[in-house]
Chains A and B, each alone.
Chain A
Amino acid sequence: MKRKLIAAIGVAVMVAGVAACGSDDKGSGKAAAPKEITVWLTVDAQKNWPELVKQADDAFTAKHKGVKIRHEYYEWTAKNQKLDAVLATKKVPDVVEMGNTETLGYLVKGAFAPVDKSKFENSGDWLDALEGSVTYNGKTYGVPYYAGARVGTWRKDVAKAAGVTKAPTTWAELTDALDKIQKKNGDKFSAWYQPSRDWYTALAFVKDAGGDVAKEDGGKWTATLSDPKSIEGLKTWKSVLDTYFHGDKNKDESDRYIVYGQGKSALIYGASWEGGAAADPKTDKTGKLKDNLETFALPGPNGDLLPNFIGGSDLVIPAKSAAQDLAADWINGFTDSAAQKVLISKGNLPNAKSLLAPLKDDPATAASARANENTWFVPTAPGWLQVEKKQILQNMLNDIAVGKASIEDATKAADEQINAVINAG
């Protein structure tokens, strides 16, 4: 309790005005015991693992009798907009789910309260990509919730028809197989359906070639997409698109599983749930997906696996929350080992390395579990969220893919745009 109080004082400078309003009537340093907590999650939890929410609620209510839990579920884009506005009021949520690339922009402005890492299960070996996203100036400001890896998913039946019987393990095997598949199915078919705006994949090629989006020097970030190595990666990516992707080059990856379900392509490289979603009878128009999907860790041109972007979610506590202890308790029940088991069963990666290891032995999860072998993450720069929100990378990739701009020109323009925002808080 004492430690919590000290931690709370850490943010008191910022919250001073608000906190004063809230605890004036009490007088003593200790705030009144809150009667309820508000939890904001994204719709994923509501749609895909409501039982986990209930499990966490039950654990929480058993410990804190009479404290009510209010749940609110938001769709990703609406959530931040609403959060920005609500943080200006006194009635802020106590727990908020944040994407791991979203947190930093809020951390630099002191929006979230620090948490006591030791209170949470598995906090010793949280996944780096998640732990990094809640760490700022050496302090922890949130709890990793779950992660998602990218896996290759392809159709065994299509591969077999083209004479390929085994999932590729090297880049040469992969391109060889794709060549055969492409040849067999004609140029209306996409051997690899790879939407141009899917920047997670494009940047994986950049990383694989030794390039990067931006690099830090003395606290200052500079965009490096137009560096020779980055361009080399983008060239490989572009040739993949030119050779194997014959669909709509202006689309993003949001409906990839729907298009894949329509049977117009053999391979997708996307989040691990996408294959399953495509095989759902609602989306599977071929009727063959269910029995013929195979997932594997996608090899990269460089000999390693293609660097995997580890996206994921964290749970944070707004600095203005009046029930930070209770919030932490709820988060604990929602992220402990038992909870991670539920999340794994839904096709996610757990938040800790120790929980990840056993997944490699299970063929159903092996591909995504291996993803952690070679990962990459976005620059941890204060202005990164703006790079994402402004769609700088997506627009650049789109221009390259449809031939509106050469790789050299497009990257140069993108570098300028990135440099303009990446250091701003």
Chain B
Amino acid sequence: MSAVDTPLDKVPRPRPAGPGRKPRRFGGAALPWTLLAPTIGVLLLVLGYPLVRLVTLSFKQYGQAELWQGLPGDWQGVANYTHVLGDPVFWGVVLRTLLFTLAAVLLTLVAGMGVALLMQRVSTWVKALINIVLVASWAMPVVVAITIFKWMFDSDYGVLNWLLSRLPGADFSGHNWFTDTKQGFLVITLMVVWGAIPFVAITLHAGLTQVPKELEEAARMDGAGPVKVFRHVTLPVLKPIIVMLTTLSVIWDMGVFPQVFLMRDGHPEPAYQVLTTYSYDQAFVANDYDAGAAIAVVTVLLLLGVMAVYMRQMLKIGEVE
């Protein structure tokens, strides 16, 4: 089992570059910063600066009048925050968003990993088919995907109700999937997961190709079953990618917008509100841009809180280099 315990031994492992170690030959700090400059420049301009505005906005009184007349808006301190944080509706939305995110991320990763592993094991032609389907569904504009899902789940002319009604003893004609919020969120989660699987599966599959075959081979020779090989050989190699995919999935699923917004015809009922739609409602429905901004800021802080654990994990991986 030695090979299983130290899967990366055969691959020359990058040396830890701790503080005491001099990064050999790799110049000073000027080069990395030069390499980073374009990225940082773009991000500062189009995300950083608006982000600052978003934060200042949340402390102001800012509505349509201010927007149209180019007025700066009056400071109103933390009024938005005290109002938002003291609102039980808001906390309900937070809880709903977190639950949804948890379910969607878990499903996405498990299913994505399943598809990626499957792609390694199927015949070439099946793999080609899977690839085509993954890319085609990935390529489908979200607007169209939502239209199709809404249509498939329609109570009067949806294909799903029709199919289910073919089952013996089942009558789903006229069944509305959104009457019951649980069912509704099931549909929304399915759709989000469906949309996320191609990316996760393709990335994981690409990652799998980086897993040295000799390692898996050696582990098997040592008598490790497929589950053990996966756990002790494949997973450690994939870890950085999995951590990254989890992080991104959490961020994306917590920031899910069109899937909820358009599935509920552009006006989610209170029981369907998630953080983004709630913030959008405040900003664009109530035209209370400052309140919407405050909710967005709280969302970012919540995300940072949720992600703190993961970020530490990722930094740890980063330190291995």
Contacts and interface: CB of A to CB of B under 8 A. Distances in A.
Is there direct touching of A and B in the complex, by C-beta distance under 8 Å?
A: yes
Interface of A: 14, 17-18, 77, 81, 84, 87-88, 105-106, 109-111, 188, 247-252, 254-255, 258-259, 262, 264, 320, 386, 389-391, 394-395, 398, 402, 421
A252 B155 CA distance: 12
B266 A14 contact: no
A109 B71 CA distance: 13
A248 B155 contact: yes
B179 interface: yes
Contacts of A264: 156
Interface residues of B, number: 24
A87 B176 contact: no
B220 to A, nearest CB: 54
B176 A17 contact: no
Contacts of B179: 249-250, 402
B155 A251 contact: yes
Contacts of B284: 81, 84
A390 B179 CA distance: 19
B173 to A, nearest CB: 8
Interface in B9-62: none
A98 to B, nearest CB: 14
Contacts of A105: 287
A248 B174 contact: yes
B146 to A, nearest CB: 14
Nearest to A391: B267
Interface in B51-96: 64-65, 67-70
A390 B156 contact: no
B169 interface: no
Contact of B68 (A111, A255, A259): A111
A18 B156 CA distance: 51
Contacts of A88: 67-68, 70
Given A258-B157, A390-B281, A250 B67 contact: no
Contacts of A398: 269
A390 B266 CA distance: 10
Nearest to B262: A77
Contacts of B154: 255
Contacts of B157: 258-259, 262
Contacts of B287: 84, 105, 386
Contacts of A255: 154, 156
Contacts of A106: 64
B286 A421 contact: yes
Interface string B123-143: 000000000000000000000
Given A251-B155, A258-B157, A402-B179, A390 B285 contact: yes
Interface string B160-181: 0000000000000010101100
B265 interface: yes
Contact of A87 (B67, B156, B270): B67
A264 B156 CA distance: 10
A422 to B, nearest CB: 12
Contacts of A421: 286
B156 A259 contact: yes
A264 B157 CA distance: 12
B286 A386 contact: yes
Contacts of A110: 65
User: Which of B178, B269, B270, B287 has its CB near the most chain A CB atoms (within 10 A)?
Assistant: B287
A109 B64 contact: yes
A109 B68 contact: yes
Contact of B269 (A14, A386, A389, A395): A395
A212 B68 CA distance: 34
A87 B266 CA distance: 22
A164 to B, nearest CB: 25
Interface in B275-321: 281, 284-287
A195 to B, nearest CB: 11
Given A84-B64, A106-B64, 12 more contacts: A84-B284, A84-B287, A105-B287, A109-B65, A110-B65, A247-B155, A250-B178, A255-B156, A386-B285, A386-B287, A389-B267, A421-B286
A331 B3 CA distance: 80
Which of B68, B156, B266 counts the most A-chain CB atoms under 10 A from its CB?
Answer: B68
9 contacts: A81-B284, A84-B284, A109-B64, A249-B176, A250-B176, A386-B287, A390-B285, A395-B269, A395-B270
Contacts of B65: 109-110
